[in-house]
């Protein structure tokens, strides 16, 4: 299980998200409160963010180090500012390598994505049927071996094959495909994802085994005014709202939060 974090709002230094909160992503890496599998998130991390003034592809900083051991992140996070950020700390599924290609966020075109969850016995079950549904270009774009990156590729496949489709619809269709396959192969799936395009956030909390991995959102808090934060665990005491199970949450540029349950 990984820990996820998404932010949309006024540009702020990254350290306000990563370090300042009392139960920050740094703390969650070594002292998580709501993980249902694993004890630590020590198998790498990543941060992705968008430029505040230019329409350019998002930037990523990733490492296989535990986030608390990376000496470059603290000074970097003090000087980089962004109004749209995704970050993740990783707890690797047993058998999957601690490798930079397996560290999130994943990125293609303007989209960043992070995933917390699992596909049970992925290599022996859904690995091949998921790959068989991909275009040649997306098949070849996969660099790692995680279920997370394959979920992202399947979502991009849906998005590219349906011009004009929303990210919410592409995410929902992807989840339907994966959970139908999971039923066929009789495996458990957890699919908490956060997606960003630089202007919006879209997140899901889905599992075919209850309870689903935890996911919360918070809007317009004194610590992050005029902003929305989505996180696997609350970063501090506040009016955090648990996302319902089997739901997709979307946050627009106006910070309006919409939730659909399925």
Q: What residues does 230 pair with on adjacent strands?
A: 6, 217
Q: What is the pLDDT of residues 158-177, one digit of tens each?
A: 999 998 999 999 999 999 99
Rounded Cα distance, 234 and 255, in Å = 19
Q: What percent of the chain has pLDDT over 90?
A: 90
Can you give the pLDDT at residue 91? 83
Q: What is the pLDDT of residues 176-187, one digit of tens each?
A: 999 999 999 999
How far apart, in whole angstroms, are the C-alpha atoms of residue 167 and residue 188? 24
Q: Are the beta carbons of 133 and 79 closer than 8 angstroms? A: no
The average confidence (pLDDT) of the chain is 95
Residues designated as active site: 2
Whether the pLDDT of residue 41 is over 70: the answer is yes
- pLDDT at residue 43, rounded to an integer: 87
pLDDT, tens digit, for every residue of 236-254? 999 999 999 999 999 999 9
Mean pLDDT over 149-155 rounds to 98
**Res. 96 pLDDT band, cuts 50 70 90:** low
- Render pLDDT for 51-86 as a digit per residue (tens, 0 to 9): 999 999 999 999 999 999 999 999 999 999 999 999
What is the average pLDDT across 6-26?
Answer: 97
* Per-residue model confidence (pLDDT) at position 94: 62
Chain centre distance of CA 192: 7
Write down the pLDDT at residue 240. 98
Instruction: Classify residue 239 by burial, with Cβ atoms within 10 Å: 0-12, 13-18, 19+.
Output: exposed
Peptide bond into 211 cis (omega under 30): yes
For helices 147-161 and 167-185, angle between their N-to-C axes, nearest 10 degrees: 130
pLDDT of the residue at 97: 67
Q: Which residues contact 15 (CB under 8 A, 6 or more apart)?
A: 74, 77, 78
- Among residues 3, 6, 9, the alpha carbon closest in space to that of 220 is found at 9
Q: What is the pTM of this model?
A: 0.96
Helices marked H in the chain — which ranges?
Answer: 14-18, 25-30, 73-79, 127-132, 136-141, 147-161, 167-185
> How many Å apart are CA 70 and CA 83, to the nearest integer?
23
For residues 186 and 171, give the distance between their C-alpha atoms in angstroms, rounded to a whole number. 22
């Amino acid at each position: 299980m990984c820990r996820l974090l998404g932010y949309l709002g006024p540009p702020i230094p990254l350290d306000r998200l990563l370090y300042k909160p009392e139960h920050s992503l740094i703390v969650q890496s070594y002292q998580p409160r709501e993980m249902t599998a694993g004890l630590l998130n020590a198998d790498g991390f990543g941060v992705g963010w968008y430029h505040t003034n230019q329409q350019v592809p998002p930037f990523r900083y990733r490492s296989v180090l535990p986030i608390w051991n990376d000496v470059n992140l603290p000074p970097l996070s003090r000087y980089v500012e962004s109004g749209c950020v995704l970050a993740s700390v990783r707890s690797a599924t047993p058998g999957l390598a601690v490798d930079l290609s397996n560290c999130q966020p994943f990125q293609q075109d303007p989209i960043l994505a992070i995933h917390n969850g699992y596909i049970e016995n992925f290599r022996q079950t859904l690995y091949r049927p998921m790959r068989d549904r991909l275009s040649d270009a997306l098949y070849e774009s996969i660099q790692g071996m995680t279920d997370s990156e394959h979920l992202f590729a399947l979502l991009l496949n849906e998005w590219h094959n349906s011009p004009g489709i929303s990210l919410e619809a592409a995410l929902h269709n992807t989840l339907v495909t994966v959970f139908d396959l999971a039923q066929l192969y009789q495996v458990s799936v957890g699919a908490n994802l956060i997606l960003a395009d630089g202007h919006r956030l879209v997140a899901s909390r889905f599992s075919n085994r209850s309870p689903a991995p935890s996911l919360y959102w918070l809007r317009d808090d004194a610590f992050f005014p005029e902003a929305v934060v989505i996180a696997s665990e609350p970063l501090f005491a506040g009016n955090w709202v648990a996302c319902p199970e089997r739901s997709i949450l979307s946050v627009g540029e106006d910070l309006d939060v919409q939730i659909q349950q399925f």
